[in-house]
Structure 1
Amino acid sequence: MLLLLIPLLETVFGLRGAEAQSVTQAGGRMSVPEGDPLELRCSYSSSTPPYLFWYVQYPNRGPQPLLKYTSGNSFVSGIKGFAAEFRKNETSFHLKKTSARLTDSATYFCALSDTVTETARGAEHKPLRLWDFL
């Protein structure tokens, strides 16, 4: 049985300014047997309705958009079978996939953007470096 290893470290991304916002991913490394369900947890804090994003970064490549929530339907489908559900009452946007594949081994980032651009004075990002260990 092949194991999919997804390293995770705590990531915090937020906007500076009067209306602080942040996103937090749980720390640690995740090992998922190929074919099993996968869930990557993301919580956010925002005083205004947020735009939420998931990005994926494969080895030796730059980050690529995976899916986004801007408004409306709370369930968002992405590429390669990934999906996320915006849960306002739980302030969460967890990334899920029903059947993990070995090709899903990558670094995943949850990000937040202010929907009111006038309050965004720049982004503050705590960089992280995650590696695949197969």
Structure 2
Amino acid sequence: MKYWFMLVFILFALGSSVVLAFEPLSEICNVEQGCSVIQNSTYAYMFGIKNSVYGVGIFSLLSLAIIIQIFKPNNKNEKLIRMSLFVGMLIAIYFLSLQIFVLKAYCKYCLVADFSVIIAFGISLFEKKIKFV
């Protein structure tokens, strides 16, 4: 059951990354809004590619790994998912810190992606099966 919840949050992150990667900034952000500040900053790119494009690829692969784990569970895949989410959580905390302390601006789509990864990692830590009556 936890993998279904993780999948939902990773799909939220994927959706917000798709919007940031492929929608024109003028259509998703008001010029005075924080996401415009963030998306036009030097922190929005790595090696000349928008971070959201990396997000689309990473969240797509992570979604696939979670779907495989749902239907064909194995320990190796579970460790890969948990490790990926841990690294993703660290990156999300880094990006949140940039928004809060450096840029002093907030991008709603970035926040959705960052908090979704953090929540998905938290869910991955649960070991006991939860039974709903």
Instruction: Confirm or deny a common fold (TM above 0.5).
Output: no
Higher strand share: 1
Structure with higher helix content? 2
Higher normalized contact order (CA 8 Å, seq sep 6+, divided by chain length): 2
Q: Which has the larger radius of gyration?
A: 2
- TM-score w.r.t. structure 2 length? 0.25
